[in-house]
């Protein structure tokens, strides 16, 4: 069963003093392109988180985020008095050395400097909290994978419909085969008689005609196209990721359809080929999303 590279997983964990939201978004990409945003309070777990993502997601552009929101009204933000005092002393010392005026209003200057305020998410976490966060990460990954499978089922249904349409169009080609050969032979004969205006060796003409018709024969292309369509459907049922493989098969399907069009030499058959190409373009567009 195929899976989509597009997915979304989200888990919210309620802790005594904060709410932790784990969110994963994925889009299509040729390789695994992983971007993580982890608050400093959970930095010690970042490598473990990245390892889980690498093992589970295989391919795609992955955006992973953990958001922390305090649910305590009066302790969400605190002034870091130690940092402010250190900045104050350093600025005074530098101002004296450089003989420049110290700030007239200290607080706007000091509070803009790094680490002068402490948010709830910077408070050190205990082991129980880390376990809850990691379980939330695993659950978010599970939800993402379920989302990918659901999207993959939709893609599978779409591909089956496109393949069935191409197979139906291929059957329609047969109804024009006899008419096509007859028209080609009549057109060549008429042109030959108009050009020469005399009798010609009909046996030699038949030999040349057979050679020419064989060059326009499309049975081999039809057989290969049928095989490629079957191979595409079978590959969709593989257990492992098969997005790249389906892309390669789609290219081979395109080659056979193009050859069929160049050999058809018949207006109605060329219309059928255009319809086949339309179905194939839908496959090529969506196969880029397959894991």
Residues 6+ apart with CB under 8 A from 141: 9, 24, 52, 53, 56, 57
> What is the per-residue pLDDT for 193?
66
> What is the per-residue pLDDT for 103?
80
What is the sign of the dihedral through the CA atoms of 285, 286, 287 and 291?
A: positive
**pLDDT at residue 200 tops 90:** no
Half-sphere exposure of 283 toward its Cβ, with a 13 Å CA cutoff?
32
Cα 35 versus chain centre, distance: 16
**pLDDT at residue 40 tops 80:** yes
pTM over 0.85: no
Q: How many residues does the chain have?
A: 291
How do residues 230-240 score in pLDDT, each as one tens digit?
999 999 988 77
> What is the per-residue pLDDT for 255?
95
Quote the tokens at residue 180: 């096509």
Which position has the token pair 């499978």?
149
Contact 35, 149 (CB under 8 A): no
> What is the per-residue pLDDT for 174?
81
DSSP three-state, residue 121: helix
Integer Cα distance of 280 and 15 in angstroms: 51
How do residues 56-112 score in pLDDT, each as one tens digit?
998 899 999 999 887 765 555 677 788 888 888 888 888 888 888 888 888 888 877
Cα 165 versus chain centre, distance: 24
Name the residue with higher pLDDT: 48 or 113.
48
Q: Residue 218's pLDDT band (boundaries 50, 70, 90)? A: confident
Q: Are strands 7-14 and 18-27 parallel, antiparallel or unpaired?
A: antiparallel
CB-neighbour burial class of residue 273 (10 A; exposed 0-12, middle 13-18, buried 19+):
buried
Name the residue with higher pLDDT: 279 or 83.
279
Integer Cα distance of 173 and 260 in angstroms: 10
Q: Are strands 18-27 and 117-119 parallel, antiparallel or unpaired?
A: unpaired
Element (H, E) at 222: helix 219-236
């Amino acid at each position: 069963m195929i899976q989509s590279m597009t997915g979304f997983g989200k888990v919210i964990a309620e802790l005594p003093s904060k709410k932790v939201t784990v969110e994963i978004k994925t889009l299509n990409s040729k390789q695994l392109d992983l971007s993580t945003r982890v608050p400093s309070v959970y930095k010690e777990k970042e490598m473990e988180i990245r390892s889980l993502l690498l093992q589970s997601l295989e391919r795609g552009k992955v955006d992973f985020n953990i958001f922390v929101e305090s649910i305590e009204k009066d302790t969400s933000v605190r002034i870091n008095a130690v940092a402010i005092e250190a900045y104050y002393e350093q600025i005074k010392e530098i101002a004296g050395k450089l003989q420049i005026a110290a700030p007239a209003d200290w607080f706007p200057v000091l509070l803009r400097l790094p680490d002068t305020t402490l948010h709830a998410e910077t408070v050190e976490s205990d082991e129980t909290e880390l376990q809850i966060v990691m379980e939330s990460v695993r659950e978010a990954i599970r939800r993402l994978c379920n989302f990918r499978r659901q999207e993959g089922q939709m893609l599978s249904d779409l591909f089956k419909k496109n393949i069935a349409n191409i197979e139906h169009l291929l059957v329609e080609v047969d109804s024009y085969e006899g008419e096509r050969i007859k028209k080609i032979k009549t057109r060549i004969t008429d042109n030959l008689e108009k050009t020469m205006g005399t009798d010609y060796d009909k046996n030699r003409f038949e030999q040349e005609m057979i050679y020419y018709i064989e060059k326009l024969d499309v049975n081999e292309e039809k057989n290969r196209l049928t095989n490629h369509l079957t191979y595409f459907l079978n590959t969709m049922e593989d257990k492992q990721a098969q997005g790249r493989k389906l892309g390669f098969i789609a290219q081979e399907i395109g080659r056979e359809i193009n050859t069929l069009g160049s050999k058809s030499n018949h207006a109605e058959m060329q219309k059928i080929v255009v319809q086949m190409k339309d179905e194939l373009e839908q496959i090529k567009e969506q196969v880029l999303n397959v894991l």
